[in-house]
Amino acid sequence: MSVQARSEPVTGTLTARLGDTLRRAIAAGQFPPGSKLPSEARLSETHGVSRTVVREAIAALRADRLVEARQGAGVFVLETSPTPPSSLLSLQDIDPARVSSTIELLELRTAVEVEAAGLAALRRSPAQEEVIIERHYAVRACLNAGVSSAEADFALHLAIAEATNNPRFREFLAMIGQNVIPRAALRKDDTETDQRAYIALLDDEHNDIVAAISNGDEEGARDAMRRHLRGSQARYRALLREQRQPVR
């Protein structure tokens, strides 16, 4: 199945902005521990964003253990943990500027996200499937516009992790943070044709993952995610070899 392009707003930035706004409000005591956040409809109206953006922002807060959803009651603010979740996973020495660090992250992602894609194909709800497709279109819009797709790409992978309906997958990616999405594997001397081919390849790889999840194809989703992440590893290893200076 081919997921066809359509005109969609890039919602990744809106999600991040709303998430930051709610975090600041919680930190400032506007929503103290134990209090209930406004409804999805109220947040959507107040901040002028879609309900999809609200859901994604709330999901990010849940991953950071700032709020919890209670069935039939709403979303409530939790007591602030003295130890931030990110400290549970020590990745402090990750240097996004080093190609070797990028390869290390890609290998770690492969170990987790291949299974996440398979579970998402089996367990995703219609609403979660819709979010995944919207995130895919958002990445495509960034690629077509020639702007950084890192934030939108991260949102796509978070949506897939969310669709496993196992919160640990999303929490894992959230702990790593946006460094999970490396910079584009492009060389300075790449031609415009090379860049277009690279962008088209990324879009095709994402499309295969999204289509398999949408079709409920568990093994197809795993295979597509594995090809995508291993392909990224291969591209970065080639870049690493080219950047190495010959020994004299």
Give alpha helix (H) positions in 146-217: 150-162, 167-176, 192-214
b/e per residue, 97-112, with b = 16+ CB within 10 A?
eebebbbebbebbbeb
| pLDDT value of position 185 | 52
Rounded to an integer, the average pLDDT of 5-11 is 42
| pLDDT value of position 5 | 42
Rounded to an integer, the average pLDDT of 35-39 is 93
Q: Is the pLDDT of residue 207 over 90?
A: yes
- Residue 165 gets the label, from left (phi > 0), alpha (psi -120 to 50) or beta, of left
Tell me the pTM.
Answer: 0.64
Q: Place 203 in a pLDDT band, splitting at 50, 70 and 90.
A: very high
For residue range 149-189, list pLDDT tens digits in order.
Answer: 888 888 899 999 999 999 889 888 877 766 556 655 555 55
For residue range 96-152, list pLDDT tens digits in order.
Answer: 567 777 788 888 889 999 999 999 999 999 989 999 999 999 999 988 888 878 888
